[in-house]
Amino acid sequence: MRGWAMAALALALLAAGTAPGGAQAAADDFSSWKKLVPNFPSTGGGGVMIGEYRPVVRGETCTTDFTATEPNGTVYRNTVVFDAVPTAGGILCTNGRWRSLDNDAAGTTPFRVFFRDGVAYASQ
């Protein structure tokens, strides 16, 4: 599978299937979200592992570089930028836009991260 296709697949698998955006944020129960860890299996299965996922909030965006690793060990390097939206006493990273670091693939993801009191929580 070509690098751009695998990166797109990894991010599609990363997505938890929740709708991104502001209106959805009001209905979310962030207390039910689990703490974000930097390495986790893709929610879509297939043995793809997401790694080095450490988003940080910088002004009006959240960003992180990360890896998507196939079961055969092939690693794809990517980056994602989210809108940082103040909500529920924290910051919701939503409307994610990703691209491969090789610049051969790009897209969006409904995966979201919520920061409160310095702790990150994942929408998955």
Do the Cβ atoms of 112 and 94 come closer than 8 Å? yes
The confidence band for 74, taking pLDDT boundaries of 50, 70 and 90, is: very high
pLDDT for position 32: 94
The confidence band for 19, taking pLDDT boundaries of 50, 70 and 90, is: very low
The neighbour count for residue 17, using CB atoms within 10 Å, is 10
pLDDT for position 15: 44
Dump pLDDT digits (tens) for 39-66: 988 765 789 899 999 999 999 999 999 9
| Sequence ranges of the domains in the chain | 3-122
Mean pLDDT of 83-87: 97
Rounded to two decimals, the pTM is 0.78
- Reference 116, options 94, 80, 90, 98; nearest CA is 90
pLDDT of 73 strictly over 80: yes
pLDDT for position 25: 55
